[in-house]
């Protein structure tokens, strides 16, 4: 009966979409980091004198791994050092050391990164040696070997090179040519190459312009490596989290106009990875399997021996599994524009029923999609309208009504990074079935202008710029810190920064006076909101006291002898069962029976 708000076990529809998505590219994302280990990488630069470029890179990768373990622990990463004396590459390339093989993050790889974070040039030399000669072609070659040697199926592949010198093969045209050829090889294998440097004078022109991925590609990052690198962690996260298409779907306007768009996830609740079962003797994963057995014959039932049913108004109604799936097929697959409405009238905060999605055109299925999409976007923005559509996300999913909310591209003028991409958000609209009546008090006292002003003064004091990036989920972080502590046999898990706990001290300090003024303006003298509520609570329990046995358990025997058990709630009855160790399950009548049996 009780409704749960924001219950933790909310059904997540989008999860299903991600695994069932039509046209989804199977496979894992993979990234190789190739880090130049030349002298300059271990020197402190003027402004940021705390860490060397090498330390900063390792730290960023370390932080990214920790994030990856939470958000997408299937992605593969590898780390190559180049310009080392030691080498261990598969093809005997000198000056290349494969420090971490292409794999999913593990306790070991994270520990290694942590230990490497503060390393200095001398220690590094002892471990790996230093050699200024290096062949970029071999770095590329080795990366390709690593990518092709893995047994996993790969979806997106990237190589991110951190270097210092922007012209490593100055005067050696052969070496240049070889590097170019190898880089082309990587491109042929759909490997995206990015090159960045902490060197302020770094230019792409001398050498790397022929190496990096096509600047005309759909990737908006191609200039300003230094700027991007300012916040290396978030930059890496962006680079290494490929936006997966949930599906590619047609978008129809009228019956005859059809373009093609990709659908993307905007936000989705990250939950702890589900616990797995293990064989306690070997700590190996134990897979759970289920089969269905005929209760009477003991035979294993085949899927065709099983049907599905629901009981309504006393009638048992039985269907084949297929029939139930077909019930969902109502609309035609894709987005169908029904018309347009003003944005403010069609998209209201309280309409929210589901996480939004994002669409962006793709040319592969319908050529010309981008131009029409662009025109639609420009005009929806100009007119401040949204497109109302019926949306059937997959051929067998039930249709929803959605609003396409236009989003203009926004660029950070300082870093020229894209803040928001151009496209439409798919905002899900509720059906009448989803909307409920909420009763308001008929006569609400209206606040006076002074009272509103007091509120304004107060809220002005506590303004901040909300950004979802600045709030980690404390429950998830705690969980992973715990795991980390167990895995690394730490005595105590690391403390987390919990930003969901209000900092009352600061609030009181900054706005205390205004809070007092507000309270004086709105609360009548002597009003104590907390006191009243508790009073209210206790009075309500008093009135219902007879119904809810609390700590001082009601005299059960008396209830039994007077046949009054029926007056207790099921919860109350169950409490009695627990206390007296009575096996009471099933319907209320059954539980009452069980209790009565116990006492007579």
Partner 1 sequence: MARAKEAIVFCLDIGLGMQTAAPGYPTAYDSAVKVLSMLIQRKIFSESKDEVALVLFGCEETANRLADTDDNSYQNVSLAYPLGNVSFDLLEYISYSLKPGTKVADFLDAVTVSLDILYNETKSKKLNCRRIVLFTNFSHEFSNDSLDGIIGGFSADGMDIDLCVIGPEIDIETIGLNGKDETNDEESLKDEPSTSTSLPKRRKLNHFNPSIDPNTGKPKTCQQMAGEKVVTKMFNGGVNGECYSFSQATKAVTGFEKKSVRSAAWKCHLTLGSELAIPCVAYAKTKEAKLKQTWKKCHAKTHKTADITVNQFYHVEDDQHTEVEKENIGKGYKYGKDIIPFSSEDDKQMKYATEGKSLSILGFTDIDNVPPNLFVDDQALFVLPESGDNASCTSLSAMVLGLQKQHLCAIACYIYRKGTNPKLVALIPHITEDNICFVMIGLPFSEDVRTLSFASLKDRKAHQPSDKQLQVMDELIDSMDLSDKSNSAELYPPEHMLNPYFQHTFQALYRRSQNPNAALTHTSDNVSTLLKPNNDVMERSRVKLEHVQSSFSLQKQVWKKDADLKEAWKKVDIDQADTQGSSSISGLQIAQISVPTVEKVGTVSPDSDFIALLSNAEGSAIEEIFKQLQKKIEEFLGDPFATRLENKIIVSLKTLINHAQKHNQRDNVNKFLHQIKLRVLKMPFRASFVENNIAPIDESVSAEHFWSDGDRAADRQEDEEQEDDEQGADELLDMMD
Q: Is 24 a catalytic residue?
A: yes
**Part in contact with partner 1 (CB under 8 A); list of ranges 23-31, 225-233, 542-550, 571-579:** 23-31
Among positions 88, 132, 330, 561, the unique one binding partner 1 when judged by CB under 8 A: 330
Cα separation of 44 and 56, whole Å? 11
Q: At what angle do helices 107-116 and 474-487 cross, to 10 degrees?
A: 90
Residue 71 CB partners (closer than 8 Å, separation 6+): 241, 270
Minimal CA–CA distance to 378: which of 428, 342, 423? Answer: 423
User: What element of type H or E holds 469?
Assistant: none
Bridge-based pairing of strands 334-342 and 76-82 is: unpaired
Structure tokens at 493: 């898990």
User: Judged by CB under 8 A, does residue 122 bind partner 1?
Assistant: no
Q: Does the protein bind partner 1 through residue 413 (CB under 8 A)?
A: no
In the set 24, 329, 574, 588, the catalytic residue is 24
Q: How far is the CB of 581 from partner 1 (least distance, A)?
A: 23
Cα 165-29-84 angle, rounded to 5 deg:
30
Q: Does 115 sit near partner 1 (CB under 8 A)?
A: no
**Near partner 1 in 269-288, by CB under 8 A:** 269-270, 272-273, 275-288
Of 94 and 451, the one with the shorter C-beta distance to partner 1 is 451
Our CB check for partner 1 shows the closer of 177 and 557 to be 177
Q: For partner 1, which is the closer residue by CB, 354 or 574?
A: 354
Nearer to partner 1, 151 or 600 (CB): 151
**What is the rounded radius of gyration, in angstroms, for the C-alpha atoms of the chain?**
32
Q: Is the CB of residue 105 less than 8 Å from the CB of residue 65?
A: yes
Q: Give the integer Cα–Cα distance in Å for 71 and 8.
A: 17
Considering the rule CB under 8 A, would residue 553 count as an interface residue with partner 1?
no
Looking at beta carbons only, is 48 or 148 nearer to partner 1? 148
Told to check if 368 binds partner 1 by CB under 8 A, we report yes
> Which of residues 25, 44, 209, 562 is near partner 1 by CB under 8 A?
25
Looking at 49, 173, 201, 291, which residue binds partner 1 (CB under 8 A)? 291
Task: For residue 337, give the nearest of 385, 274, 270 by alpha carbon.
Answer: 385
**Closer to partner 1 by Cβ: residue 11 or 46:** 11
* CB closer to partner 1 out of 273 and 571: 273
Report the alpha-carbon distance of residue 448 to residue 456 in Å, rounded: 12
Least distance from partner 1 to the Cβ atom of residue 200, Å: 25
Pairing of strands 385-392, 400-407: antiparallel
33 binds partner 1 (CB under 8 A): no
**Site mask, partner 1, residues 478-507, x = CB under 8 A?**
xxx-xxx-xx-----x-----xxxx-x--x
Interaction of residue 398 with partner 1, rule CB under 8 A: yes
Residue 535 binds to partner 1 (criterion: CB under 8 A): no
Closer to partner 1 at the Cβ: 44 or 293? 293
Q: How far apart, in Å, are the Cα atoms of 425 and each of 243, 246, 405?
A: 15, 14, 5
Structure tokens at 255: 């019956």
- Which one of 159-167, 225-233, 291-299, 572-580 is the stretch in contact with partner 1 (CB under 8 A)? 291-299
Considering the complex, what minimum distance in angstroms separates the CB of residue 356 from partner 1? 4
Query: Shortest gap between Cβ of 481 and partner 1 (angstroms)?
Result: 9
Sole window of 41-49, 106-114, 124-132, 565-573 interacting with partner 1 (rule: CB under 8 A): 106-114
Q: What pairs with residue 360 in β-bridges?
A: 262
Q: Which of 44, 401, 570, 589 binds partner 1 (CB under 8 A)?
A: 401
What are 526's two structure tokens? 């002597």
Strand partners, 30: 76, 157
SS (HEC) of 136-148: HHHHHHHHHHHHH
Q: Between residue 152 and residue 191, which ones bind partner 1 under the rule CB under 8 A?
A: 152-154, 177, 181, 184-185, 188-190
Please give the backbone phi and psi of residue 167, each rounded to the nearest 5 degrees, phi first: -140, 70
Task: Identify the burial level of 161 via C-beta atoms within 10 angstroms of its C-beta, where 0-12 means exposed, 13-18 middle and 19 or more buried.
Answer: buried
Number of residues binding to partner 1, judged by CB under 8 A: 246
Among 92, 122, 126, 349, binds partner 1 (CB under 8 A): 349
| Minimum distance of partner 1 from residue 227's CB (angstroms) | 15
| Count of CB atoms situated within 10 Å of the CB of 168 | 24
121, 226, 476, 577: which one binds partner 1 (CB under 8 A): 476
Q: Does 15 bind partner 1 (CB under 8 A)?
A: no
Residue 477 structure tokens: 């972080």
Partner residues linked to 391 by β-bridges? 335, 400
Ranges within 65-84 binding partner 1 (CB under 8 A): 65, 67-71, 73-74
Instruction: Give me the sheet containing 154-163, strands edge to edge.
Output: 96-103, 76-82, 28-36, 154-163, 191-197
User: Binding residue for partner 1 (CB under 8 A) from 46, 171, 254, 586?
Assistant: 254
Quick one: which of 46, 133, 173, 312 contacts partner 1 (CB under 8 A)?
312
Which 3 state secondary structure label does DSSP give 385?
A: strand
The answer to whether the beta carbons of residues 317 and 369 sit under 8 Å apart is no
Site for partner 1 in 555-584 (CB under 8 A): none
| Contacting residue, 121, 226, 337, 577, with partner 1 by CB under 8 A | 337
Residue 80, classed as helix, strand or coil, is strand
Q: Which residue has the tokens 């059954």?
A: 590
Q: Which residues contact 409 (CB under 8 A, 6 or more apart)?
A: 418, 420, 421, 422
Closest CA to 116 of 47, 168, 65, 46: 65
Single out the residue of 218, 414, 551, 552 in contact with partner 1 (rule: CB under 8 A).
218
Residue 46 or 529 having the CB closest to partner 1: 529
Q: Which of 399, 574, 575, 577 binds partner 1 (CB under 8 A)?
A: 399
Residues 442-471 that bind partner 1 (CB under 8 A): 444-447, 451-456, 458-460, 462-471
To the nearest whole angstrom, how small is the minimum distance from the Cβ of residue 161 to partner 1? 20
Which of the residues 185 through 204 are near partner 1 (CB under 8 A)? 185, 188-190
Q: Between 404 and 556, whose beta carbon lies closer to partner 1?
A: 404
Beta-strand pair 400-407/334-342: unpaired
| Residues involved in catalysis | 24
């Amino acid at each position: 009966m009780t409704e749960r708000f924001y219950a933790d076990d909310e059904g997540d529809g989008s999860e299903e979409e991600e695994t069932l998505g039509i046209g989804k590219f199977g496979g894992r994302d993979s990234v190789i980091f190739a880090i130049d280990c030349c002298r300059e990488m271990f020197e402190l630069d003027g402004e940021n004198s705390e860490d060397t470029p090498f330390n900063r890179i390792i730290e960023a990768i370390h932080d990214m791994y920790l994030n990856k373990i939470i958000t997408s622990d299937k992605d593969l990463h590898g780390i190559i050092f180049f310009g080392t004396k030691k080498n261990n590459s598969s093809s005997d390339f000198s000056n290349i050391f494969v420090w971490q093989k292409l794999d999913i993050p593990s306790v070991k790889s994270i520990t290694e990164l942590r230990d490497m974070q503060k390393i200095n040039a001398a220690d590094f030399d002892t471990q790996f040696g230093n050699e200024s000669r290096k062949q970029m072609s071999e770095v590329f070659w080795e990366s390709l070997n690593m990518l092709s040697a893995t047994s996993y199926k790969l979806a997106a592949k990237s190589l991110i090179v951190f270097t210092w010198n922007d012209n490593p093969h100055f005067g050696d045209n052969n070496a240049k040519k070889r590097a170019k050829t190898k880089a082309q090889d990587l491109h042929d294998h759909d490997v995206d190459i990015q090159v960045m440097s902490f060197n302020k004078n770094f230019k792409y022109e001398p050498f790397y312009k022929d190496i990096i991925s096509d600047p005309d590609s759909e990737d908006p990052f191609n200039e300003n490596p230094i700027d991007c690198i300012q916040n290396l962690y978030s930059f890496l996260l962006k680079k290494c989290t490929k936006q997966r298409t949930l599906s590619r779907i047609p978008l129809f306007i009228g019956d005859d106009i059809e373009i093609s768009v990709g659908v993307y996830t905007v936000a989705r609740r990250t939950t702890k990875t589900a616990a797995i079962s293990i064989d306690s003797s070997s700590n190996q994963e134990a897979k759970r399997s289920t089969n269905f057995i005929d209760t009477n014959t003991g035979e294993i039932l085949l899927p065709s021996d099983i049907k599905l049913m629901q009981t309504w108004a006393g009638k048992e109604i039985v269907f084949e599994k297929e029939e139930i799936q077909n019930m969902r097929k109502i609309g035609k697959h894709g987005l169908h524009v029904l018309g347009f409405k003003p944005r403010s009238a069609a998209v209201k905060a309280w309409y929210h029923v589901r996480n939004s999605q994002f669409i962006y055109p793709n040319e592969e299925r319908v050529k010309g999609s981008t131009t029409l999409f662009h025109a639609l976007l420009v005009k929806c923005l100009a007119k401040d309208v949204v497109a109302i559509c019926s949306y059937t996300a997959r051929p067998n999913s039930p249709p929803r009504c959605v609003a396409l909310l236009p989003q203009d591209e926004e660029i950070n003028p300082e870093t020229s990074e894209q803040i928001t991409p151009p496209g439409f958000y798919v905002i899900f609209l509720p059906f009448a079935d989803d909307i409920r009546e909420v009763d308001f008090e008929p006569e609400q006292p209206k606040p006076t202008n002074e009272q509103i002003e007091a509120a304004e003064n107060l809220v002005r004091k506590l303004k901040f710029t909300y950004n979802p990036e600045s709030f980690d989920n404390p429950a998830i972080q705690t969980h992973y810190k715990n795991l980390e502590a167990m895995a690394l046999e730490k005595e105590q898990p690391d403390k987390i920064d919990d930003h969901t706990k209000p900092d009352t001290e600061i609030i009181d300090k900054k706005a205390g006076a205004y809070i007092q003024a507000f309270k004086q303006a709105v609360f009548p003298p002597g009003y104590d909101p907390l006191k009243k509520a508790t009073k209210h609570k206790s009075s309500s329990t008093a009135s219902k006291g007879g119904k809810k046995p609390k700590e001082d358990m009601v005299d059960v025997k008396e209830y039994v002898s007077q046949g009054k058990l029926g007056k207790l709630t099921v919860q109350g009855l169950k409490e009695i069962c627990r206390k007296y160790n009575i096996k009471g399950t099933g319907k209320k009548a059954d539980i009452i029976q069980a209790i009565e049996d116990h006492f007579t």
